[in-house]
Structures are given as C-alpha cells and as structure tokens.
C-alpha cells in the first residue's frame, strides 16, 4: 500500500470544502438521473479553488512575531492593493474572482545558466512550504501582520544558477485585459514589474509566496504566486508573477516610471523619508484605532541593514 505524506500532495490535488460540497451535490443529482455511468474521472486540477487548504506547512520559528497580533484573514482578503483590478481597496475582492490561476507557468530567463519554465505545481514542489509571520507595511501608511506561506526565493535562484553578470532580479506580472479590468487605466505602464538587487533576492527573508493563512493565495492577494519582502513597502511584492528575469542593469520598475519623484528603486521602509504627499513616520495597523510608530526596515533592521552598509538611504530611497 502506498502511503502519501502531506508534503507529497500537490495543491492541484486539494479540494476546497466549497468545491467538495458542490461536487457531492452534483454526484447525488447525477446518480438520481442515471448520468454517472461512463463518465471519465475528474481531472485533479479542476479541484483547485480559492480557500484550498495547504497540507504539510510547518511554521518557521525563526520568522514568527510572538509579540504581534495577527490580522484577521478577512481583513487581509478585503483590503487590497492590486491595480490590475482597480485602484480602490475594494476593487480586487470584487473583480479578481474570475482570475484563472490554472494552468499557470513562470518563465525564468536572462542571465542564468539554466533558464526554465516552471509550472505552478513545480514551484510547490521546489522546497518545503513554511509559514512565516511577517509585518506587511504599505507605502500609504497602513500595515498588517500576515502568516504567509512559501519559501526563500533563493531556492529557485539556486536552481537556475545566475551568471556572474546577473546583478538584479526582475519580476513581471500578468497583464490580461480580458481578466483584469484595471488594465484599462493608464496609471501604470503595464505589465507591472518590480525588481530587487541580487543580494536582496537571495536574502532568506525574501519569500516566494504561494499562500497565506494556511490556504492558497486568494486571487485578490496575488494568486497563484507573488513576492513578499517584509522590510520593503508592499508594492515591491509583485503579484501574479509570470516571468522572472535576471539582468545586469537596474530595471526601471512600474512605480519608478509612474512617479519617479515619489518612488525609488529600493523602497525600504524608512520612517525618516517621507512620501511627498504624506509622512512615513507612523502607520495605521488594520483593525486598530490610532497610529503606531513606523520601525526602520519595518523592524527587520537586525537582519537586513548590512545590505545597505555605507549607502545614503535618504538618497537611495
């Protein structure tokens, strides 16, 4: 008898409770009508849906925040920035429901020795999934604490083996007008792109993110794969990624092109550098009254400040 461990089960083999109940109801109706005989077996992939639980996820004790209270999952799912679906915080939950996250591939290319196209299930198998509780700070001065699920991006980087001249990692996101009504806006030069310096991308905190709250990523939060870099403002975490490029020169990212005086390449959480239209010295934690003081590097200075040794962080904002 073959016994499968939880970590052997792919996300495409997981059925959400909602899908499971719907299917049971359909089977009962079909049986009563004599329609089941001769039907082919259901494909595993059709079971995948938002809300699917992720098996075999272990909390990483190195990246927990015991003194911080988690935000509610509903806060995470209902208050979102995802301009491909609209600029209002309530637009992504309203309009991202139809986003098709299967089939999905991520092409890794550029200055690497082993370019590869990863199927989304390949990414789930690439490294053990971990739950990491990170502070998440938006440039608009709101924040939350989220239990993300994924693994260090370095696991993927080591697979493709960057060449010596690869200095930056660029992330390109899906731009499909048929699925994303926000693309009709000219606020961004689509497709959305973001980038990190290679040493930032290799840092163990940099998370290739496939889930949150123990479930598959909701569409409105960047399904099926996104980046989370907890010491940087949230817009650095590209959502619904379809391409990762390794390049020699610093890419001009989406918000650098849209507002060069407001958004710099590094975008580290820095309370001493104000946005031209508001202060970054304080933040509002979702679900709380009042404001709290913003922490340098979002509280991760001990882990990441050495990446910027000798840099003027007001100039390189």
- What digits encode the pLDDT tens for the residues 88-108? 999 999 999 989 999 999 999
Q: Average of pLDDT values for 190-212?
A: 98
The answer to the question of residue 140 being in a domain is yes
Instruction: State yes or no: pLDDT of 305 exceeds 70.
Output: yes
Owning domain of residue 173: 67-308
Give the number of other Cβ atoms within 10 Å of residue 49's Cβ.
Answer: 17
Beta-strand relationship, 292-293 and 282-285 = antiparallel
The answer to the question of residue 317 being in a domain is no
In which band, very low, low, confident or very high, does the pLDDT at 28 lie, cut at 50, 70 and 90? Answer: very low
The answer to the question of residue 52 being in a domain is no
Q: Average of pLDDT values for 241-261?
A: 97
The answer to the question of residue 49 being in a domain is no
* Full-model pTM: 0.85
The answer to the question of residue 155 being in a domain is yes
- Please tell me the least confidently modeled range out of 7-16, 38-47, 159-168, 265-274: 38-47
Q: Where is pLDDT greater, at 99 or 9?
A: 99
The answer to the question of residue 11 being in a domain is no
Contacts of 51 (CB under 8 A, 6+ apart): 16, 17, 18, 215, 216, 218
Q: Classify residue 247 as exposed, middle or buried by CB count within 10 Å of its CB (0-12, 13-18, 19+).
A: middle
CATH assignment of the domain containing 153: 3.90.420.10
Buried b / exposed e across 173-188, counting CB within 10 Å, b at 16+? bbbeeebbbbbeeeeb
The answer to the question of residue 86 being in a domain is yes
Overall domain count for the chain: 1
What is residue 181's predicted lDDT score, i.e. its pLDDT?
97
The answer to the question of residue 214 being in a domain is yes
The DSSP string of 204-236 is TT-EEEEEETTEEPPGGGTTT-EEE-TTB-GGG
- What digits encode the pLDDT tens for the residues 150-192? 999 999 999 999 999 999 999 999 999 999 999 999 999 999 9
């Amino acid at each position: 008898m073959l016994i499968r461990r939880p970590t052997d089960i792919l996300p495409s083999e997981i059925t959400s409770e909602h899908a499971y109940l719907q299917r049971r109801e359909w089977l009962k109706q079909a049986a009563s009508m004599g329609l089941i005989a001769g039907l082919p077996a259901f494909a595993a992939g059709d079971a995948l849906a938002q809300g699917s639980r992720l098996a075999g996820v272990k909390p990483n004790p190195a990246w927990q925040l015991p003194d911080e209270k988690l935000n509610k999952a509903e806060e995470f799912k209902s208050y979102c920035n995802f301009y491909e679906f609209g600029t209002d915080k309530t637009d992504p939950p309203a309009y991202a429901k139809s986003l098709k996250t299967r089939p999905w591939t991520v092409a890794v290319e550029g200055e690497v020795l082993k370019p590869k196209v990863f199927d989304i299930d390949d990414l789930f198998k690439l490294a053990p999934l971990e739950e990491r509780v990170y502070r998440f700070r938006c440039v608009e001065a709101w924040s939350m604490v989220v239990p993300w699920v994924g693994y260090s991006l370095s696991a993927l980087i080591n697979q493709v083996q960057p060449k010596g001249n690869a200095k930056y990692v660029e992330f390109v996101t899906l731009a499909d007008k048929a699925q994303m009504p926000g693309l009709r806006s000219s606020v961004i030069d689509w497709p959305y792109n973001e980038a990190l310096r290679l040493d930032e991308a290799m840092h163990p905190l940099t998370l290739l993110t496939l889930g949150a709250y123990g479930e598959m990523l909701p569409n409105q939060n960047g399904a099926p794969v996104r980046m989370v870099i907890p010491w940087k403002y949230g817009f650095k975490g590209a959502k619904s990624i379809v391409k990762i490029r390794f390049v020699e020169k610093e890419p001009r990212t989406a918000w650098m092109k849209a507002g060069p005086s407001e958004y710099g390449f590094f975008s580290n959480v820095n309370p001493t550098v104000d946005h031209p239209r508001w202060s970054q010295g304080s933040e509002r934690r979702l679900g709380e009254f009042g404001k709290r003081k913003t922490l340098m590097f979002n509280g991760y200075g001990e882990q990441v400040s050495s990446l910027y040794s000798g840099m003027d962080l007001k100039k390189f904002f």
